[in-house]
Structure 1
Amino acid sequence: MRAILTALALSFALPMAACSRDASEAESAATIPVTIAMAGQAHRFDVEVARTDAEQDRGLMFRTSLPENGGMLFPFAKPRIGSFWMKNTLIPLDMIFVRADGSIDRIAENTIPESLEPVVSGGEVSAVLELAGGTAARLGIDETAKVTWKE
């Protein structure tokens, strides 16, 4: 009888866990602190890191929200021209293109959800930081800022 009850409980629990996996994946992902400093101010964000090619390909696709102090960092093995698009990205983002020295090459503000138009850096960058759309304007972040993080 106990085996039957256990099997019955699992038959309900496993599908529920599978359904909630995608929704909570972002919430449970490990984050690192990223700081954007400028003019005597520092803004801290706790962001996910897209380390692998697969993680970088998926990025923030299919997300319906992003925490105010959240985001995603895309570090590159060596500096390159950064080029992103918004395919399957459902929310506007601010893309901050970061040079190897932490200075900001370009900020693409409020990128258009699901757009296939490339969003490209102005020069070679070592990382791209994606934040919720409007964050840069709200906090006064501009190209004079420095971006730092430790993995």
Structure 2
Amino acid sequence: MPRTFVVAVSAALLGLCAGCTNDGTTAAANDATATAKAIPLTIKSANGAHVFQVELAQSAAEQERGLMYRRNLADDFGMLFWPYPAGGGAPREASFWMKNTPSPLDIIFIRADGTIARIAENAVPFDTTPISSGEPVGAVLEIRGGRSSELGIAEGDKVSWDHSAG
């Protein structure tokens, strides 16, 4: 998602916001496979395991940009914001928005223990309304909008990936 995302324990308390503007992104950036390294990520739900190939957004700049300007996301593609917040540290409440993001996204907030805390389904493209995790999280996953519901992914499901990647 990122578009821009609000950093820290609470945007209301800290008033900090990381912004991103259109920087002349090329058409290649609209292709979900345009960025390099992708790793497998698995979500175990009541109806089985669902595997996604995810790009890692680890630096502050990568997390600020997220999936901005991306179109036509593949069903098995995602972006993992890990560690969240960038640079590591203790899990924090996360807040994302859809600025400069033309595709609806499911934003999956993941606790430090790997369980899903909240799913914000079908986040509205270009909307700047903050979408909060509601509790401290250690990672955030963005996938194509509606995909969580299609696959039966729910709060409490377990998410795993190779933590040595990156």
TM-score (norm 1): 0.83
Deviates more, 1:53-62 or 1:36-45: 36-45
What is residue 60 of structure 1 aligned with on the other side?
A: 67
Say whether 1:44 aligns with 2:51. Answer: yes
Q: State the aligned residue count.
A: 134
Match of 1:35 among 37, 42, 55: 42
Q: Whole-Å Cα distance in 2 between the matches of residues 33 and 62 of structure 1? A: 23
Q: Whole-Å Cα distance in 2 between the matches of residues 101 and 20 of structure 1? A: 37
Match of 1:86 among 94, 98, 104: 98
Letter in 2 for 1:82: A
CA RMSD, aligned part only? 1.8
**Matched-pair identity in %:** 50
The structure with the largest helix share of the pair is 1
Cα 1:38–1:89 shift into 2, 3 Å: same
Say whether 1:135 aligns with 2:147. Answer: yes
Cα 1:24–1:139 shift into 2, 3 Å: closer
The structure showing larger relative contact order (alpha-carbon pairs under 8 Å, at least 6 residues apart) is 2
Task: Please state whether the residue corresponding to 1:55 is helix, strand or coil.
Answer: helix
Unaligned runs of 5+ in 2: 1-25
TM-score (norm 2): 0.75
Letter in 2 for 1:115: D
Cα 1:22–1:40 shift into 2, 3 Å: closer
Name segments (4+ residues, structure 1) moved above 6 Å: none
